[in-house]
Chain A
Amino acid sequence: MATVTLDNIRKSFGTDEVIKGVSLDVADGEFIVIVGPSGCGKSTLLRMVAGLETITAGELRIGGTRANEREPMDRDIAMVFQNYALYPHMSVAQNMGYGLRIKGLPKAEVAAKVRAAAELLQLSELLERKPRQLSGGQRQRVAMGRAIVREPKVFLFDEPLSNLDAKLRVQMRLEIRELQAKLGITALYVTHDQVEAMTMADRMIVMNEGRAEQIGTPLDVYERPASLFAAQFIGSPSMNVIEAEGREDGMHVGDMLLPNPTGARGPVMLGLRPEHLVPAPDGPLALRVLLAEPLGANTLLHGMLAGGQNFTASLPGVHTTGGAEVLHLGIAPEKMHVFDKQTGRRLG
């Protein structure tokens, strides 16, 4: 168990800088999710913590001591890979015990620890099997088991659930979270799936093009996204972003006039979450509905605003609509997000 500190970590491949200075303090036992689209540098960041990539600049501290130059094996970490990376020629028990055997633990002790971990992960029946005889979910568990028998200070997860089917993913999400909480081991978890990020994280770090767009609790990021990118990446369906002009009397979107909660002036980007829109006969937004997607609990209405902007609203319940229906919508001022048009940073 340990804290992890990333102090202005940078990574360059040649002249190409892929991690452009990320700083993060991870508390002992905290579950941090690193989320972002592919190519944003999230896996590279994790691999730098693991010691599989060198750190170009900045300092990494694990448990308070500098770890930049330490070999992966000396960092006291364990990693779960996307493809599980099980040793195909070893049985489940051998896979889980490999690290302990290398440490030189006596056979009986290795076996005991492997049994204990297997019990925890419901793998006891499968210890003699080879990885190829296991299902995806079981392999995932073995990879977890291999990580926990070593009792590391830090768990690193590199998209561990992306090879599983949707149902299993939901189940494993819970299991990983429970296990981590039970063992109290600090965890860094990389994913591109914003639902995983929202449901699992104590705090999440939203990455884009090698930068941390925002670091905060999932609700923080959802309710007060720090940038346009974070705003659009988190939340499903994703946030509507439209150009607007802030004036004394409110936000002007074409002919439509919305409240101006931040008092911003000049051209801005306005972010409105589909689920925060409410039908109101005298609402300021006029949405011409082109397509309705009933999901049961709610209905997604895709269409266009008067100015031609694509726009989506999510209304509770089943909402049937005829073609080319115009729907009037309103939104509470405190649910509006205003971003700088140039930098994309949050205003107010």
Chain B
Amino acid sequence: MGAGNRPPVPPMEKRVTFKGWLLPLCLIAPQVVISAVFFFYPAGQAVWQSLFIPDPFGLKSQFVGLENFEYLLGDPYYRASFATTAIFSTLVTLAAMIPALFLAVMADRLVKSAGVYRTLLIWPYAVAPAVAGVLWLFMFNTRVGVVAWYLGQLGYDWNHVLNEREAMGLVVVASAWGRISYNFLFFFAALQAVPRSIIEAAAIDGARFWRRFFTIVLPLLSPTTFFLLVVNIVYAFFETFGVIHTITSGGPQQATTILVYKVYSDGFVGQDLGSSAAQSVILLVVVGLLTVLQFKYIEKRVHY
């Protein structure tokens, strides 16, 4: 026994051990404080508020237990918002990832001036969601929009203010547009990391471009694809607020009211803070579950 029994210490790893408590506490304090003030406290408030119903003037509130949640689950508008969110986030994720992958594959084939294309393709990412929303709104504005006018010339009467499908289509496109750049960047980097010799081996084995793409390249991209899937779904759930707010404000007839928008409109427009808080708690749980599911299920199919 004795010294020979100890587990071998990896030579590269240097562990720092602290003698007292003060220094380590100081070192982690900034992170803890920031998390507490900006995350744990508001989240706790939301959970707490979800158990109350405030009176119409906001002077008192009454403890109601889980009634807010019970009401929400029975509310057809809320359930419709769930369906809307599912459709919206699926469409946004697909619309943001598939064109990005296609563009990345094409840019990867370029030998000359690949850098120029790359730079140009990254620009839309720099546009803030709300600005992107206004941009698309102007293009499709039923009275002054360029695209709407051309569609009118072609005999199509574009009106996303009245047509639910057109409204959904517009917010999906406006939300996905800037994300294409972001996804492109990751796909492009991942494509560049695929060893050339593997592609060449497949070419010698007789696989033509698209066959190689689907049997060799796409599986090798799976870690990146998985990462982007998670990130894009989270984006579609939360960060698209600005786009929806500027383009449709959740309409027409709540056709584009996704969960996060409903949290806002019920809470700050409808002044029902209890319900709004309950909704954000549900949203938190949903996104958590979704991410866990993705890691559990899809990570198994990710190679390496």
Contacts and interface: CB of A to CB of B under 8 A. Distances in A.
Interface of A: 50-52, 71-73, 77-79, 81-83, 85-89, 98-99, 102-103, 132, 146, 150
Given A88-B304, A89-B219, A102 B204 contact: no
Nearest to B207: A102
A79 B198 CA distance: 11
A85 B205 contact: no
B203 A85 contact: no
A99 B200 CA distance: 12
A85 B216 contact: no
The 9 closest A-B pairs by CB, nearest first: A99-B205, A85-B197, A89-B303, A73-B206, A85-B201, A89-B219, A102-B206, A81-B197, A72-B204
Interface string B185-205: 000000000010110111111
A105 B129 CA distance: 52
A83 B303 CA distance: 19
B143 interface: no
A83 B206 contact: no
B68 to A, nearest CB: 48
Contacts of B208: 73
Contacts of A89: 219-220, 222, 303-304
A14 B222 CA distance: 36
A73 B205 CA distance: 6
Is chain B's binding surface mostly helix, strand, loop or mixed?
Answer: helix
B79 interface: no
A79 B204 contact: yes
B211 interface: yes
B279 to A, nearest CB: 41
Nearest to A94: B215
Contact of A98 (B197, B205, B222, B304): B205
A73 B204 CA distance: 5
> Which of B200, B204, B222 has its CB near the most chain A CB atoms (within 10 A)?
B204
Interface size class of B (residues with CB under 8 A): 20 to 34
Nearest to B219: A89
B113 to A, nearest CB: 16
Contact of A87 (B198, B203, B206, B304): B198
12 contacts: A71-B203, A72-B200, A72-B204, A73-B206, A86-B198, A87-B202, A88-B198, A89-B222, A98-B207, A102-B205, A102-B211, A132-B304
A81 B205 CA distance: 13
A308 B52 CA distance: 98
A77 B216 CA distance: 20
A150 B195 contact: no
B201 A73 contact: no
A19 B208 CA distance: 28
A52 B211 CA distance: 18
B198 A85 contact: yes
Given A52-B200, A79-B201, A102-B211, A85 B195 contact: yes
A83 B203 contact: no
Given A85-B200, A87-B216, A146-B205, 8 more contacts: A50-B200, A72-B200, A73-B208, A79-B201, A85-B195, A87-B201, A89-B222, A98-B202
B201 A88 contact: no
Contacts of B222: 89
Contacts of B303: 88-89
B40 to A, nearest CB: 41
B220 A73 contact: no
A51 B206 CA distance: 12
Contacts of A98: 202, 205, 207, 215
Given A85-B195, A88-B304, A89-B303, A150 B205 contact: yes
Interface string B165-188: 000000000000000000000000
Contact of A73 (B195, B197, B203, B216): B203
